[in-house]
Amino acid sequence: MSRKQADYMAALLADEPVGANAAPVAPLPVRPRGTTLLNRETALARVTSGEVRQVTQLLLDPARVRIWPGNARSYQHLSEDSCRELIDSIIAEGGQKVPAVVRRVENDPGHDFEVIAGTRRHWSISWLRAHSYPEMQFVAQVAQLDDEAAFRLADLENRARSDVSDLERACNYAEALKAHYGNHLTRMAERLKVSKGWLSKMIKVAGIPDGVIAAFASPSDVQLKPAYALAQALDDKRASMAIQTTARDIAREQAVRRTNAMALFPAAEVLRRLLDAPKIATEALPPFVWTTPHGRPGLSIQSSNRQGVTIRLHSGSGAGPDELAQALRQALNHLEAEGHGLKR
């Protein structure tokens, strides 16, 4: 986490209240100015302390803390393997040292708080309590944030994490665009302090159909730059049909490989096959050639793509204007039937 990100997070947490119904632990020390930030833990400690004041932490039972659905990270996909490094660190340090950020919830008899930032810490403490470390407690600070501010804080923390995939973030942004910003992309970009162009690409990637994502070995394989090219290709109706058909074929092949403990197709190969699908489908289409009653070619379709249709009028066919006009109508009907119509 950069100094700029830390300052931004500190601003979001500037007015958080101290919880009254949880056990406090010793407040974080104020870090002297000029001290080098060595790692993410010290960076977040600086944020929670604000470098100018002290923040009381809370010890919570993770079972009483739910996960806020507005976070990009997919809680159900966390596992012992994905959290192994964090689990080992918590054990070695005798507990969780970097506090999560939570907020109070109401009208939920099963929970007192929800996690805004710190999903992996919550999962890891929960796992440890169930596996020989029942004394472990979830360390958190309470923030008073509305949903939009909570989204910005969670997003800020996730930007510093490589284990949150581009697709997870893209889908999270697409949901937030509707939920918090009224589908105003410019306003959202300004609030998040990110490029509008970059954010637009993320939203575009979020629109890739689930059936296409299923072709990849893992959703985490879907990275922004190549996925954006795929999302653009899907804008074309004909190309989309070919890509989705190919994606279903690849997904079936991947399933067979999983069953037989074989290596799955890498992302680069999946992308190549998906992006090549429209071209292969076009080449496989039967050509359209209109011939005169004397067997001479009079009109033929040369190509059909996103830019338009190329039609050739053959010289020497002997066909008149009325005949060629009728041939053109037949050609257009053929294109429409094959999903290549000009209205796509």
Give strand pairing partners of 104: 113
CA-closest candidate to residue 209, choices 183, 247, 179, 181: 247
Enclosing H/E stretch for 227 = helix 224-233
Q: What is the DSSP letter of 271?
A: H
CA distance 121 to 126: 8
Tell me what pLDDT residue 279 has: 82
The DSSP H or E segment spanning 102 is: strand 100-104
Place of tokens 């690409």: 201
Count other Cβ atoms within 10 Å, centred on residue 144.
11
Taking alpha carbons only, the member of 104, 94, 91 closest to residue 64 is 104
pLDDT for residue 176: 94
Looking at the DSSP bridge assignments, the partners of residue 262 are none
Report the C-alpha dihedral over residues 83, 179, 225, 249, rounded to 10 degrees.
Answer: 80
Closest CA to 216 of 166, 168, 264: 264
Residues in a beta bridge with 115:
67, 102
Find tokens 């708080």 and name the residue: 113
Q: Which helix (H) or strand (E) holds 11?
A: helix 3-12
Residue 44, pLDDT score:
55
- Alpha-carbon gap, residue 172 to 146, rounded angstroms: 17
Tokens of 294: 């004397």
Query: Average pLDDT by consecutive 10-residue portion of the chain (344 residues)?
Result: 53 45 41 40 52 64 93 83 93 94 92 93 96 94 90 84 82 94 95 95 96 93 93 91 93 93 94 90 68 87 79 91 92 82 68
Residue 67 bridge partners (DSSP): 115
- 3-state SS of 105-145 is CCCCCCCCEEEEECHHHHHHHHHHHHCCCCCCCEEEEECCC
Q: Do residues 278 and 242 make contact, with C-beta atoms less than 8 angstroms apart?
A: yes
Give CA–CA dist 68/147, Å, rounded. 10
CB 168 within 8 A of CB 219: yes
